[in-house]
Structure 1
Amino acid sequence: MHPTAVLLRRLPPLLPLPSLPLPPALPALRPLPSLQVPWPLPSLLLLLPLLLGVPGSSAYGFRNCIQSPLDPGLFRCIQRFLQSVTDALADLPAATSALNLSHNALHHLPSAAFARLPLLQTLDLAHNRLATMAPGAFAGLGALGALDLSHNRLDALTEGAFTGLGNLSWLRLDHNPLASVASGALLPLANLSRLSLRGGRLVALGPVAVAIQHLPRLQLLDLCGNKVSALGPSPPLPPSLLALRLCNNSLAALAGGTPGLLPTLRVLDLSYNNISDVAPLAQLRLCNLSRLQLAGNPLDVLQLLEVPDLRPRSLDFSGLRLEPGMLEEVCRRLKGPRLRYLRLRHNGMQALQDGALATCPPVATLDLSGNRLRQLGCMGRLLRQEQLGELGELVVEHNLLRWLPSCQQTPALHRLHNVSLRFNRILVVGPEAFAHMPHLRLLRLDVNGLARLDQRALGGLRELRELRLDNNLLTDLYTGSFSDLGRLLTLNLRNNRISVLFPGAFTGLASLQTLDLGGNNLRHLAAAALRELGDLRRLYLDRNRLQEVSAEVFRPMQASLGVLDLRANALRYISRRPRQRPPFRHLHRLYDLKLQAQQPYGLRIIPHHFFQGLTALRSLFLGQNGLLAIPADAFDDLAQLQFLTLADSGGGMGNLPAGIFKNLSRLRSLDLENVGLRSLGPHVLGNLSRLEQLKLAKNELSTLDRRLDEMLPALRYLDLRKCPLSCSCTNAWLPGWLNHSRVQVVYLYNYSCGGASTGEGPPTYLHSFDTRVCFLDVGLYLFAATTPAVLLLLVLPLLHHRAYWRLRYHFYLLRAWANGRWQREERRYAYDTFVSYNSADEGWVLGELVPELERDSLRLCLHHRDFSPGRAIIDNIVDSIYNSRKTVCVVSRSYLRSEWCSMEIQLASYRLFDELRDVLVLVFLEAIPDAELSAYHRMRRVLLKRTYLRWPPEPQAQRLFWAKLKAALRAPGQEEEEGKEGVGEGRQ
């Protein structure tokens, strides 16, 4: 037993919490009182988690929450349809530090709702239905630093709602129908630095300013997306406030703005307010601003630059619709030393002529995104000479650029290190297009329509570290395209149309560490495709069409490759003995391998020694593969493996082979969710001495081996959701183990017997079902039940040997006396004979049997003629048999194969045994061997005791057959006598 479990049994019992509705819960954890026991230091260290109240060494499981396996203080209670906070918190430990209750149905927070979690630091209540919060709802949360109440139904903030949150620094209330804020609602939040009220229904800044004026540390206030139409009357905002966002409101005229309202503000966002008059801005004293955003307002830029207190350099010119010719004037107004940012986003600019930015001061970052530029030309021609040495970052995203010309002969931009041209329509990049940017570090050409990359397009970029070419239309990579990129570390070619990697395509990329080729059309990798990438550490080949991989492809990077992503390809093997040698045998340093979701049906079979050579692998992803068979030696080479997932591979695997994990002694996490497991025993889980997480959800497990605790001594997290665990004696050990285990069982109290409730009465839960019935003294009952049977078996042979004939003689005397005393009276029958036959023999019955018997005035009952229409077939059969003096069964092979015929002869046999009268006549149309009759044991027993006839093929013998049949049918029923000879041809 684990040492902490031993210590737990020595401690006083834990304090119970108030009871909850069914299913009943175990007592929740509480901090234990200090113990005055002179224990040695190791024992105290083992007890430390228990003293802190963290479930780690005692029984625990949570009805509506999951404890993070990596962080014991983090709990997620997401999408549990919770309507009350108590339902979630009742069984959580007091040491909880982070709680996520988002996406539930909470509608009210009562007073002191979270008081039992005094160490809580982060609380997420987003996406609920909260409409009210009682005063003191968060009382006792003195350590809380972040609170998220977004996407709820709060329409007002009342005083006292945030009492006790003196340490809160971030409060989110966005996307609530918030219309009013009480003046003292935020007063307890002395340490609040960020407040978001975005997406509400506030109509004025004044009430909000009153509510926050006593917050000495508030730095950010977000009121975007409200209905604010006036800035005043309002007291000054707190001097600590640095950023105020009022975008998407109704501040058309900036009515009510008072001097001193924004004393120390650095960032002010007034975008999209339909402001057309710049005069009121002068009253706001904006001299301290470092950034003023006015995008989407119909303002005259030149008039805006005349505002006395507005510094032109603080103005963000994005979205101000600069008309042609205005850019030059704007740049003149920005005269001065080096400008850090020049933002010209969303201004509708369609072209920039040479020298268009020559009047601007030197700029560090130039942002031209969101315009309608069709061509950019060469940046060296847009700037004057002294500006070339200052530009460090160029962003031209979301434009209409179609091609990039060659700029080899233009002035160089020596300080330019970042260029982003993504979200354009670039089809072609010309040769030496970036030659005037020799010190470029980051180049983004992703999300364009780039179909062809000139062989010399990237020439001269010897300092480039990261190149983004993903989400384009590239089909080929030409030899030498990257020859100048000797220092490139990251190359992203994801989501293109590359189908072939020609040898030499990556020539020059000797320093490349990350190559992303995911989402292309690669079907085959030649042995020399990646030979230049000797220093590659991360290779992404996911979502291609690779049907096989060869070890020779990865040989060049055998000393460096750490991550290999091959998921969602078309890898498939039809035999456990592959034709090729193991594909990963050279990758001795690979630590992360992804092979999940192979298309179209998954990696159904894993060959023997498939993972040979992966001696350093720590994470292996094999999920979503519909695995049918895994050899027992599949993971023998993965001695360093720590994380393994086979989730969603229920392709008929059934059970895992014995010893499959025998060499995974370092494994910490094993995901077997939805793999179709029916059993899991020590032969599978043996040697997993360090396993901490085991996920078994959505399997067919009805029982668990009682040696689970011994096999997995380090287990801390067990997921058994949606497994049909039974409340049987086989699982009688489970409730006791669950109540004294160190393992967190996910949603322990929700496991009903059989996996789900039947709907008949209250369900029985696994953790609390009564196991006393499994421990009754059944030995006594078994002895009492078996002793008479044993004695009888000993006496019967003796009686048979000594008094067989005497007993039989007295039995027949008794039966004769009973028959004479209760002699049945002869009754009148509606028919003489009921004929049972198969439709395949209908020709003989209607052509031979019926005319011959009815010629002698015998009344026959035939199903096609005499059955009552509309009645059930079985009722017609029973009535016909019991309303006829005798039953004739026309037996053939077709008859023996018919279910209805079998039922008719069985019913006739029941009547025979019930009345002890000779009421059954069998007519064989063909010779049927005894072996074929053995399956019809009832027919065989009748044949040994009853009358039967065989239809002779010879015409001269048929007259005798008819005579015998008519005699049998006319003869009165006689009492059965064992050993009586039947009418006809004797016995078979």
Structure 2
Amino acid sequence: MRFFELLLPVRSVAMTKCKYRSIFSGPALTIASCLIQLILGYSFKNCIEVSLSHHSAFRCLNRYEQNIGAFVDDLPPTTTILNISYNNISKVPGFTFAQLQNLTHLQMDANNISEIDKDAFKNLHHLKSLNLSSNILPSLNPGIFENLYTLTELYMSDNKLRCLPPNIFNVSACLKTLIIRRNNFSCFSAVVESVKDLTHLTRLDLSYNKLQSLENSASLPSSLQVLYLSNNELVTLGCHPGFFSRISVLDLSNNSKISSEHFKGLNLSKMTYLRLRLTNVTVPELLNLSLSLNPAHVDFSGLNLGHKNNSMIRTVCRLLMNSLTEMQRMIIQQNDIRYLQRGLFFNCTNLTDSLDLSFNRLGRVGCLEFLEGQYRLQTITVEHNLLSELTSCKTPQFHRLTELSYRYNRILKVNAFAFAHTPCLKTLKLNINTIAFLDHEALRGLTQLTTLRLDNNLLTDLYNDSFFDLHSLETLNLRNNQISVIFKDTFQSLKRLNILDLGGNKINNFREGAFTGLESLANIYLDRNRLGKIEIQSFAKLSATLKVLDLQSNMIRYLTEQTTSPFTNLSKLEDLKLDAQQPYGITLVPGTLFSGLSSLKQLSLTNNHISSFRSHTFDDLSSLEYLTLDNSCVGVKPLPPGIFKNLQKLKILDAENMGIRSFSEHVFGNLTSLHKLQLNRNAMTKINPAVFEKLPNLTYLDLRNTPLSCICKNSELQNWTNTNQRVQIVYLYSMRCPELSNSSFHNFDTKVCYLDIGLYLFVSTSNVVFLLTILPLLYVKLYWKLKYSYYVFRSWFGEQWRRLRDEEEECEYDAFISYNSADEEWVVKELVPNLEGNAPSFRLCLHHRDFEPGRYIVDNIVSAVYRSRKTVCVVSQHFLRSEWCSLEIQLASYLLFHELRDVLVLVFLEHIPERQISAYHRMRKVMLKKTYLQWPGSDCADPAQAQELFWVQLRRALKSSNSRGQGDEEEREDQKTIEKESQVDQPQRDDGRNVLLL
């Protein structure tokens, strides 16, 4: 399968301007160029698809666009029928329809087109019909139709064309119909020159132009059969004798200067209809001068046959009799005939079909005495005359007459047996008169009548014997009379009546038995009457046959829910109309109003003022296919969920201007067969597109003139309308945002409505990675500082801080001893006896002895540090691994570095490797700033002397001042004294630490 064929089935694809021109380098580039401009979404800027799902027929009316590209650029290449009428298009550029190569019918009438480029219709090789009427074209390019090989119909009426280029139709050999009436053509010869090669042309209309003569140098196409030349300015025909030899229909009417002489010698042998209305032709002269003309084929309308006491008509009849020609029909309209003499048409013995006497001034026709001898006639038409009364006729004469029309007269009275002379009538038209009196027996004898038109008269009463003999009647039209009551047995004889039209009367009730006898009635029209209530027995007699019931524009109202349905027995009814009830419309629809209508297919409730619908209102209408609710609600109301739950067969739903503010997916949830939904002119500001997704067969959706807000709540609807490939959204690109008149619904900015998940994921993951990277470093560098700050803050928060600071000033202890429990033996046996037992004696704080029971350990540690002048840290491997010891040295170092108080004394019980101490930067920082003490081990030369010096140095440290400057000076002097007294010479360490080894 070719690639482009794969594109055609895509229902929602609407193409922007995509021209298939020869300048493209190849088909691949052409397709690629189109694909770049594909627009998803089944909607068109200025057109509506009317073929629904076939993508072939489009209507683009009343859009008032000036650029034709705005109509065709987004239409699919499958388009075959296109109507772009009633717009403001002024020019048709070249290659306008290049992407619509399958077009067969194109209408562009009623625009303002003044210019069409030569290549405007390029490549339209399948075009059959082109309508350019009602524009302002002054001329045509000679090559405008050169590609229209299949064109059969061309309409260019109502333009300003003065001539046609000689070779304009050279390639349009298939053209059959050319309509160029109402232009400014003045040269008939130029027209003939243009069309002479159209070998299939059968119809040419040049009416309403400015032709003065038919003189020409060429011949009409031999295929031409119908030629209209009426309403020109012809003063002569001026054509050669054989010019009309092949013409069968010729209209020269309304050319007042054409006379009988102009037909002398012309070959009119093929003529089947010649119309010469309002010319200067005299019928006897015409028939005598043109021997080839069959008199039976002349339309005698408008030829003054009514003058001179009907003598002209008698003359014509004698000519017809002499010609021995069978006259099927005779048309004598507009002849100013005022009366008809008895036996006037007696000599027209060959009349077999119809006689038309319309548009004359006849005041009476009697019993058709003027037609004595013409008993083969089947149709008589006497319309648009001045008849005022139909008299009684007793004797049957016209047994073959089947149709009689007296429409558009002034008939006031129809007497008894008015049609007894035409007993075989099948169609009788008495409509559009002023009949106020119809005799009881006026229609007696019409036993074969099937159609009776009495509409648009002044009838007030119908009697039970008015239609007594009309046993074959099938259609009875009584519309627009003054009937107020239908009495019992009025239609009792009309057992075959199928259609009864009583619309437009003043009927306010039906008497019991009003519809008795209507055993075959299928359609009854009661619209525009004064019915206030329909009773259940009103149509009881029609339950077995009635299919159409029209109750529009009556006065039906319901005041309570407790109403028995008047349609319960109408199980066969298929069409019910309850539109526009007067004066306020139906305000309450009882929940059981439509009970029993299981066969109903169409229901119309437009133009009412229903306060609300119940969820079970339409439950019984399981066969409904078309439902119209336009303008049926008052105020702004939501449709209740489940209102259409049983309408699985519904195909079309019109809900225009109902004041619908919102609806849920449960409203339309069960409409599985719905294919057309009209919601235009409602009050919806937001719609959940899931509603439409649950309508599997929906193909047409009208949301025009609804105030859909351009807000985030409608972002999903916008996305759906732009991407759905199934539902046509009518004029989507013309839907404006109510908040911003210059913004369109289909492209309002929705970026703010969606979270950028990628950005958020990047930010969040990058932060997590950063934290995972920095936390170990913070743990190593700031763990104890943060922990200390936390403990200090907690103490402060518990109102302990001030108390601890006060206790610090009192210095209850000389030293707080920080040690690990593993070193407790050395502290108890060595440290305590030497500092508390010997003079000078020091007051020491030991956690196992002096911490307050029941108090938080942290609070005890903080209190001990601040209530002691010094803090002695007994450092060992066990000390370094203790969390609490680390906290204690942290507190002491805080006082040392941040409060500038010399409170920390380090005592190393054993040698600690440099690499191990480097992990404890706080301790290492203290060791770099201060001299620390090392407990002499057994490896010393004289351990006793070294330990004695250790205790002397420790006592000096405990006695020293907490002031930082003074303490440093005293420490330096003590250091010098000890070094002098020391017997052990110890060099300074390479790492620069001040250490005193005893």
TM-score (norm 2): 0.71
User: Are 1:314 and 2:297 counterparts?
Assistant: yes
Write the deviation string for residues 552-588 of structure 1: whole angstroms up to 9, x where unpaired: 111111111111111111111223333xx20111111
Q: Which residue number corresponds to residue 49 of structure 2?
A: 67
Question: How far apart, CA to CA, are the structure 2 residues paired with 1:534 and 1:595?
Answer: 24
Which of residues 174, 193, 201 in structure 1 aligns to 2:184? Answer: 201
The change in CA–CA distance for 1:399 and 1:730 in structure 2 (over 3 A counts) is same
Q: Which residue number corresponds to residue 919 of structure 1?
A: none
The change in CA–CA distance for 1:92 and 1:430 in structure 2 (over 3 A counts) is same
Secondary structure of the structure 1 residue equivalent to 2:328? strand
The change in CA–CA distance for 1:524 and 1:184 in structure 2 (over 3 A counts) is same
Q: Which residue number corresponds to residue 378 of structure 2?
A: 392
The change in CA–CA distance for 1:209 and 1:779 in structure 2 (over 3 A counts) is closer
Question: How far apart, CA to CA, are the structure 2 residues paired with 1:18 and 1:145?
Answer: 24
| Maintained 8 Å contact 1:77/1:102 | yes
Write the deviation string for residues 933-973 of structure 1: whole angstroms up to 9, x where unpaired: xxxxxxxxxxxxxxxxxxxxxxxxxxxxxxxxxxxxxxxxx
- Residue 426 of structure 2 aligns with an amino acid whose one-letter code is R
| Maintained 8 Å contact 1:629/1:653 | no
| Maintained 8 Å contact 1:54/1:93 | no
Write the deviation string for residues 395-436 of structure 1: whole angstroms up to 9, x where unpaired: 110010111111222x52121111111001111111111112
- Residue 482 of structure 2 aligns with an amino acid whose one-letter code is R
Q: Which residue number corresponds to residue 327 of structure 2?
A: 339
Question: How far apart, CA to CA, are the structure 1 residues paired with 2:707 and 2:7?
Answer: 31
Which of residues 592, 600, 604 in structure 2 aligns to 1:609? Answer: 592
| Maintained 8 Å contact 1:732/1:774 | no
Question: How far apart, CA to CA, are the structure 2 residues paired with 1:514 and 1:82?
Answer: 45
Report deviation, 1:265.
0.4
Q: Which residue number corresponds to residue 552 of structure 1?
A: 537
Question: How far apart, CA to CA, are the structure 2 residues paired with 1:716 and 1:373?
Answer: 57
Q: Which residue number corresponds to residue 746 of structure 1?
A: 730
Secondary structure of the structure 1 residue equivalent to 2:264? helix
User: Are 1:458 and 2:439 counterparts?
Assistant: no
| Maintained 8 Å contact 2:14/2:44 | no
The change in CA–CA distance for 1:727 and 1:236 in structure 2 (over 3 A counts) is same
Once structures 1 and 2 are overlaid, which stretch shifts more, 292-301 or 64-73?
Answer: 64-73
| Maintained 8 Å contact 2:12/2:727 | no
Which of residues 382, 387, 394 in structure 2 aligns to 1:408? Answer: 394
| Maintained 8 Å contact 1:236/1:263 | no
Question: How far apart, CA to CA, are the structure 2 residues paired with 1:560 and 1:10?
Answer: 44
Question: How far apart, CA to CA, are the structure 1 residues paired with 2:486 and 2:400?
Answer: 34
Q: Which residue number corresponds to residue 755 of structure 2?
A: 775
Write the deviation string for residues 691-746 of structure 1: whole angstroms up to 9, x where unpaired: 21111111111111242244212211111111121222222222332233111111
| Maintained 8 Å contact 1:162/1:189 | yes
- Residue 489 of structure 1 aligns with an amino acid whose one-letter code is E
Question: How far apart, CA to CA, are the structure 2 residues paired with 1:32 and 1:662?
Answer: 46
Q: Which residue number corresponds to residue 504 of structure 1?
A: 489
Question: How far apart, CA to CA, are the structure 1 residues paired with 2:526 and 2:707?
Answer: 39
Q: Which residue number corresponds to residue 360 of structure 2?
A: 371
Report deviation, 1:767.
4.2
Which of the pair has more CA radius of gyration? Answer: 2
When the two chains are superposed, the root-mean-square deviation of aligned CA atoms in Å is: 3.0
The change in CA–CA distance for 1:666 and 1:303 in structure 2 (over 3 A counts) is same
The change in CA–CA distance for 1:765 and 1:655 in structure 2 (over 3 A counts) is closer
Q: Which residue number corresponds to residue 165 of structure 1?
A: 148
Q: Which residue number corresponds to residue 845 of structure 1?
A: none
Report deviation, 1:802.
9.8
Report deviation, 1:684.
1.4
Which of residues 595, 607, 611 in structure 1 aligns to 2:578? Answer: 595
| Maintained 8 Å contact 1:494/1:516 | yes
- Residue 287 of structure 1 aligns with an amino acid whose one-letter code is S
Q: Which residue number corresponds to residue 243 of structure 1?
A: 226
User: Are 1:277 and 2:259 counterparts?
Assistant: yes
Question: How far apart, CA to CA, are the structure 2 residues paired with 1:13 and 1:483?
Answer: 61
Question: How far apart, CA to CA, are the structure 1 residues paired with 2:574 and 2:13?
Answer: 44
Secondary structure of the structure 2 residue equivalent to 1:539? strand
The share of aligned pairs that are identical, in percent, is 40
Write the deviation string for residues 863-891 of structure 1: whole angstroms up to 9, x where unpaired: xxxxxxxxxxxxxxxxxxxxxxxxxxxxx
Q: Which residue number corresponds to residue 608 of structure 2?
A: 625
Q: Which residue number corresponds to residue 943 of structure 2?
A: none
| Maintained 8 Å contact 2:151/2:172 | yes
Once structures 1 and 2 are overlaid, which stretch shifts more, 170-179 or 705-714?
Answer: 705-714
Q: Which residue number corresponds to residue 507 of structure 2?
A: 522
Question: How far apart, CA to CA, are the structure 2 residues paired with 1:663 and 1:425?
Answer: 53
Report deviation, 1:287.
2.6
User: Are 1:298 and 2:280 counterparts?
Assistant: yes
| Maintained 8 Å contact 2:14/2:75 | no
Which of residues 469, 476, 479 in structure 1 aligns to 2:464? Answer: 479
Secondary structure of the structure 1 residue equivalent to 2:288? coil
The change in CA–CA distance for 1:653 and 1:709 in structure 2 (over 3 A counts) is closer
Question: How far apart, CA to CA, are the structure 2 residues paired with 1:360 and 1:747?
Answer: 62
The change in CA–CA distance for 1:31 and 1:715 in structure 2 (over 3 A counts) is farther
Question: How far apart, CA to CA, are the structure 1 residues paired with 2:102 and 2:556?
Answer: 50
Question: How far apart, CA to CA, are the structure 2 residues paired with 1:12 and 1:383?
Answer: 65
| Maintained 8 Å contact 1:667/1:688 | yes
Write the deviation string for residues 776-822 of structure 1: whole angstroms up to 9, x where unpaired: 5699999x9xxxxxxxxxxxxx9xx999xx9xxxxxxxxxxxxxxxx
Report deviation, 1:283.
3.9
Q: Which residue number corresponds to residue 59 of structure 2?
A: 76
- Residue 200 of structure 1 aligns with an amino acid whose one-letter code is N
| Maintained 8 Å contact 2:712/2:750 | no
TM-score (norm 1): 0.72
User: Are 1:717 and 2:700 counterparts?
Assistant: yes
The change in CA–CA distance for 1:298 and 1:17 in structure 2 (over 3 A counts) is closer
Question: How far apart, CA to CA, are the structure 2 residues paired with 1:529 and 1:63?
Answer: 55
The change in CA–CA distance for 1:750 and 1:172 in structure 2 (over 3 A counts) is same
The change in CA–CA distance for 1:539 and 1:802 in structure 2 (over 3 A counts) is farther
Secondary structure of the structure 2 residue equivalent to 1:306? helix
Secondary structure of the structure 2 residue equivalent to 1:210? helix
User: Are 1:701 and 2:681 counterparts?
Assistant: no
Secondary structure of the structure 1 residue equivalent to 2:69? helix
Q: Which residue number corresponds to residue 985 of structure 1?
A: none
Once structures 1 and 2 are overlaid, which stretch shifts more, 599-608 or 123-132?
Answer: 599-608
Name stretches of at least 5 consecutive residues in structure 1 with no aligned partner.
1-6, 21-29, 34-50, 785-797, 807-988
Write the deviation string for residues 485-512 of structure 1: whole angstroms up to 9, x where unpaired: 1111111111111111111111211000
Question: How far apart, CA to CA, are the structure 2 residues paired with 1:230 and 1:659?
Answer: 73
Q: Which residue number corresponds to residue 675 of structure 2?
A: 692
How many residue pairs get aligned? The number is 744
Which of residues 216, 219, 231 in structure 1 aligns to 2:214? Answer: 231
User: Are 1:355 and 2:343 counterparts?
Assistant: yes
The change in CA–CA distance for 1:354 and 1:60 in structure 2 (over 3 A counts) is same
Question: How far apart, CA to CA, are the structure 1 residues paired with 2:184 and 2:273?
Answer: 26
Question: How far apart, CA to CA, are the structure 2 residues paired with 1:69 and 1:197?
Answer: 30
Write the deviation string for residues 344-368 of structure 1: whole angstroms up to 9, x where unpaired: 1110111112111111123121011
Write the deviation string for residues 473-494 of structure 1: whole angstroms up to 9, x where unpaired: 1111111111111111111111
Question: How far apart, CA to CA, are the structure 2 residues paired with 1:497 and 1:9?
Answer: 59
Name stretches of at least 5 consecutive residues in structure 2 with no aligned partner.
1-5, 20-28, 768-793, 803-998
Which of residues 750, 754, 763 in structure 1 aligns to 2:743? Answer: 763
Question: How far apart, CA to CA, are the structure 2 residues paired with 1:593 and 1:723?
Answer: 29
| Maintained 8 Å contact 1:511/1:533 | yes
Secondary structure of the structure 2 residue equivalent to 1:258? coil
Secondary structure of the structure 1 residue equivalent to 2:314? helix
Report deviation, 1:31.
12
The change in CA–CA distance for 1:69 and 1:718 in structure 2 (over 3 A counts) is farther
Q: Which residue number corresponds to residue 440 of structure 1?
A: 425
User: Are 1:132 and 2:115 counterparts?
Assistant: yes
